[in-house]
Amino acid sequence: MNLTDHTSAQIDATVAAAAAAADTWAASSAATRAALLRGLAEALEAARDTLVPLADRESHLGPARLNGELDRTAFQLRGFATRVEAGDPFAHTDDPAVAGAPPAGHPALLRVRQPLGPVAMFSASNFPFAFSVLGGDTASALAAGCPVIVKGHPAHPALTRATAALAAGVVQAQGLPAGVFGLVEGAAVAVGVHLVQHPAIAAVAFTGSFRGGAALQAVANARPRPIPFFGELGSINPVVARPAVLAAQGPALATTLAGSITLSCGQFCTSPGVIVLLDDPASDRFVDALAAALGDARPHAMLTPGMRANFDAGVARWAATPGVQWRVAPGAPGTGGDAPTPALAVTTAATFIATPALHDEVFGPAALVVRAASTDEAAAVLQAIGGSLTVTLWGADTDDADSRALVRAAMQTAGRVLFSGVPTGVAVTAGQQHGGPWPSSTRAETTSVGWAAMDRFLRPVALQDAPAWLQGLGGQPC
């Protein structure tokens, strides 16, 4: 499908509609918001037979994965509906007046939360449903009481339009202002930049590359009135495996890890990109088994020729780094829609720590084994990475100094620390934290997955000596 960039005038009109709907949507009841979120989930499911083939044509991700992703997206919309009904966006702190002199004495304070206003939401290419038009950012912003303007991803334009049309239909059928949901599209960065610069946009939710996120964050910060920029960016997701666990379960873990590295052709923000192993014969055997499993894997084509070119450039960067050797060499660079073959490289902790270019995400089916001489050196590798969505620790089950050192380094580095399994697969639930220190996200204190994602779009306001009618609203904006 050809993509026509929306003009500045079209973008302005879409934002104006959102701004016009903002007060109404902020003041909407739990029942109204929940009805919209459930209506969107139902519409998505009802259109499955149209949407999934469309998504498959544009993404190559396959019907099994895409059906599962649609299910997850509908589950997520319904989950936010349930949390709204439970009162999450209206949670407030009622702090009655205390007589007497300050600091002990104070006026009555009611701490409530105000929806930020229209949110610009940038879709990612690698989740055509779950991080796109009706994905987690849209669901959580709507639940919080904010209108959403989606910036569609040019990698799946037909799916984007079909999903947006469906959403607009639900908004209309429920008698809500049309501006509650809007879409802008275009393959030129100017479209997204104009959207972020618009004075009526109150916040940005972004999922995508480090480069794109950093550029748009700079735009958000350069506005006369800067706005929050919630960017979920790339991540290299280290897996640290201690020798004892590899000695006990090495072959099974190698198969599991190879599956995670090549899942959806490695195109997950949580794909394991660095495997940290201590010098030990069990680690050597594990690398052999991992190399064999990766050598047998045959991933499908990547999402776009541009992503394939980035993958080829990423593995070429590894190849050009002194001290990095191939265990499974990548195939020839792509010439279009052809699938890449997996790659596995090996280096030392000293080389990795001293080479910042090795800390960058290589998006696709490739991983770098980093050999460490000690637990301290393994922890130093995590510290050199600095920020990641996840760290996986295999073999930290006993409370000893080494486990503590690794857990400490992992918690300082990542938003989610796993002690079993692999990082691909992010549960949508209350306890989830999806977002880590820079460069994996721009706001490590927030999450873009799970019910707490709603909190990003709610700004606290203290109402001092509020009149009775305002107190009576129970935290709901007026």
**Options 30, 216, 289, 417; binder of ligand NAP; rule CB under 6 A:** 216
Q: For residue 96, how far is the Cα from the chain centroid?
A: 39
Choose the binding region for ligand NAP from 105-113, 212-220, 252-260, 390-398 (rule: CB under 6 A): 212-220
154 in contact with ligand NAP (CB under 6 A): yes
Residue located via tokens 């930290």 = 396
Q: How far apart are CA 139 and CA 135, in angstroms?
A: 6
**Min dist. Cβ of residue 236 to ligand NAP (A):** 9
Stretch in the footprint of ligand NAP (CB under 6 A) among 65-73, 229-237, 252-260, 292-300: 229-237
Q: Please give the torsion angle defined by the CA atoms of residues 207, 211, 216 and 219, in that order, rounded to the nearest 10 degrees.
A: 160
Q: Which residue in this structure is represented by tokens 């009526």?
A: 200
Q: Is 42 among the catalytic positions?
A: no
Q: Minimum distance from CB of 402 to ligand NAP (Å)?
A: 30
394 binds ligand NAP (CB under 6 A): no
Nearer to ligand NAP, 186 or 477 (CB): 186
Of the residues 185, 269, 361, 377, only one is catalytic, namely 269
Among the listed residues 128, 212, 266, 330, the single contact to ligand NAP using CB under 6 A: 212
Handedness of CA 243, 249, 252, 257 (dihedral sign): negative
**Cα 198–chain centre separation:** 24
In angstroms, rounded to a whole number, what is the distance separating the alpha carbons of residues 258 and 250? Answer: 12
Residue whose token pair is 């509908």: 74
Separation CA 116–CA 446 (nearest Å):
15
Q: Which of 108, 187, 244, 309 binds ligand NAP (CB under 6 A)?
A: 187
Q: How many angstroms separate the CA atoms of 16 and 143, rounded?
A: 20
Out of 125, 160, 237, 433, the only residue in the binding site for ligand NAP (CB under 6 A) is 125
**What three-state secondary structure class fits 418?**
strand
Question: Which one of 58, 69, 185, 232 is the catalytic residue?
Answer: 232
Tokens in use for 270?
């949580």
Is 478 known to be catalytic? no
**Considering beta carbons, is residue 126 or 348 the nearer one to ligand NAP?**
126
Which residue among 117, 179, 208, 423 contacts ligand NAP (CB under 6 A)? 208
Query: What are the strands, taking DSSP E only, across 125-267?
Result: 148-151, 181-184, 203-207, 229-232, 239-241
Q: Which is nearer to ligand NAP, 154 or 330 (CB)?
A: 154
Region near ligand NAP per CB under 6 A, out of 7-15, 25-33, 148-156, 395-403: 148-156
Using the minimum distance from each CB to ligand NAP, give the nearer residue, 233 or 406. Answer: 233
- Write the CA distances from 155 to 19, 71, 123, 134, 193, integer angstroms: 28, 21, 10, 16, 18
In the numeric block, the tokens 């599991």 are attached to: 256
Smallest separation, CB 431 to ligand NAP (Å): 17
Binding site for ligand NAP (CB under 6 A): 122-127, 131, 151, 153-154, 187, 189, 192-193, 207-209, 212, 215-216, 232-235, 269, 361, 363, 389, 434, 448
Residues annotated as catalytic are 232, 269
